[in-house]
Structure 1
Amino acid sequence: MNLQHHKNTIADKGFSVIDNVFSTEEIEKISEVIRNIDTSKETFRKSEDLFAIRQFLKEIPEVKDLIFNENLKTIIKEIFGENYFVVKSIYFDKPEKSNWYVAYHQDLTISVDKKVELENFGPWTTKQNQFAVQPPLNILENIFTIRIHLDDTDEHNGALKVVPKSHAKGIYRPETIDWNVETENICSVEKGGVMIMKPLLLHGSNRTTNGKKRRVIHIEFSDRELPEELNWSERMH
């Protein structure tokens, strides 16, 4: 793995794909843990189009050692740096027949432990007693997201489409995208591979058309401390 190359690509384009981070056997073990969980909890969201587990690493702690294998730990250290910690984790499963479609957007919120009035923090949203807020830009710009793929993913089963370099343009309203200037890139990722992206990268995904499922573990990392009144709700070293 030429990690310096990936580090440069992420800085320049806002994303990079690294194959073979997990072996077939490791992916099977992770999948097995997920298959055997109690899905009735309120942090789990289940519909025909999507199954999602919020606070994934907290809800299923036994998966943590499987996910943070030597390859992933090396990637985090070399690309992000020594001081990064987990601040958010979600498991997504787009089933085979899913019509789930996601329009272009940036990931503009962080998950925190409570709602407090703070300068430059807002707007706020609350879902299932979980608090999310849009923090100042410098916090968003510093986050890295790793998306671990448990299935082969391409344009036919909802691979992410992204606008390269859009992560460096601050808050970017999707309706203002000028396609004469911007390009679209479809991020195919093989099973066992990861996509690393900056949350300000404009991204979306199309409906699944090939009848194949797409399961992704989404983990966000930061090295920033929040104002003392506030804590990252899923902070984990």
Structure 2
Amino acid sequence: MNLQAHKNHILENGFTTINSIFSDKELEKIDEVLKNIDTSNENFRKSEDLFAIRQFLKELPEIKDLLFNDNIKAIINEIFGEKYVAVKSIYFDKPEKSNWYVAYHQDLTISVDKKMDLTGFGPWTTKQNQFAVQPPLNILENIYTIRIHLDDTDENNGALKVVPKSHSKGIYRAETIDWNVETEEICNVEKGGVMIMKPLILHGSNRTTNGKKRRVIHIEFSDMELPEELQWSEKN
């Protein structure tokens, strides 16, 4: 696992994939926790196409030790930096017959503990007492995202597609993508592998066509303190 090469690839292209981060035994333990989820929780989003848990590490604190194994800790320390901590987490379960399609976009918001008037922060959204805001660009540029794959994922069951290098172009509206200049890459990831990305990279995913599910744990990391009394809502 040449982490320096992966770090260089992320800085230049905005993403990388690393397989074999979790053993079969580790994945079985994670599966066991997920099987016992109380799906009636009002914070959980349910539809025919998607089951999602926001503030995942808060909702299932017992899973944290299973996710933060030695490989993940090495990635955080050596690629991100020793002071990086988890600040946002979501679990996505895209079922076998899912038609869930995600258009190209950047991840432009962070999760915080309250809404307050701060220069450079906005617009704001509030869902079920969860506050999200678009912060200044330097905060977004500082974040790394790890996407832990619990199933084999390719272009037939919604693997992420990305526009390499788009993370270094600031706020980049998807409708302005010039495909004469930009390219698209599909990020296939094996079960037990991870995709790491900068949230400003343009990314999206297609509908599932092969009848295979796709479960992903999405965790964002930062080493920055927010201004004034504002706090990350999920700082772990």
Q: 1:126 is matched with which residue?
A: 126
The amino acid across from 2:56 in the alignment is F
Distance 1:57 1:229 in 2: 23
Distance 1:67 1:43 in 2: 21
**CA deviation after TM superposition for structure 1 residue 28, in Å:** 1.4
Instruction: Give the secondary-structure state (helix, strand or coil) at the position aligned to 1:86.
Output: strand
Q: 2:137 is matched with which residue?
A: 137
The amino acid across from 1:92 in the alignment is F
Alpha-carbon deviations, 1:84-119, whole Å to 9, x = none? 011000000000000000000000000000100100
Instruction: Give the secondary-structure state (helix, strand or coil) at the position aligned to 1:192.
Output: coil
**CA deviation after TM superposition for structure 1 residue 43, in Å:** 1.3
**CA deviation after TM superposition for structure 1 residue 50, in Å:** 0.1
**CA deviation after TM superposition for structure 1 residue 73, in Å:** 0.4
The amino acid across from 2:146 in the alignment is I
Q: 1:174 is matched with which residue?
A: 174
Alpha-carbon deviations, 1:30-72, whole Å to 9, x = none? 0110110111111111111000000000100110100000111
The amino acid across from 2:93 in the alignment is D
Alpha-carbon deviations, 1:184-219, whole Å to 9, x = none? 000000000000000000000000000000000000
Alpha-carbon deviations, 1:119-172, whole Å to 9, x = none? 000000011110000000000000000000000000000000000000000000
Instruction: Give the secondary-structure state (helix, strand or coil) at the position aligned to 2:78.
Output: helix
Q: 1:43 is matched with which residue?
A: 43
Q: 2:14 is matched with which residue?
A: 14
Distance 1:145 1:35 in 2: 25
Q: 1:199 is matched with which residue?
A: 199
Task: Quote the sequence identity (%).
Answer: 82
The amino acid across from 1:196 in the alignment is I
Distance 2:104 2:195 in 1: 17
Write the mapping of 1:20-169 to structure 2, written as runs, cut at 5 A.
20-169=20-169
The count of corresponding residues between Structure 1 and Structure 2 is 236
TM-score normalised by structure 2 residue count? 0.99
Instruction: Give the secondary-structure state (helix, strand or coil) at the position aligned to 1:147.
Output: strand
Distance 2:227 2:173 in 1: 27
**Structure 2: any 5+ residue segments left out of the alignment?**
none
TM-score normalised by structure 1 residue count? 0.99
**Structure 1: any 5+ residue segments left out of the alignment?**
none
Distance 1:166 1:32 in 2: 37
Distance 1:130 1:35 in 2: 25
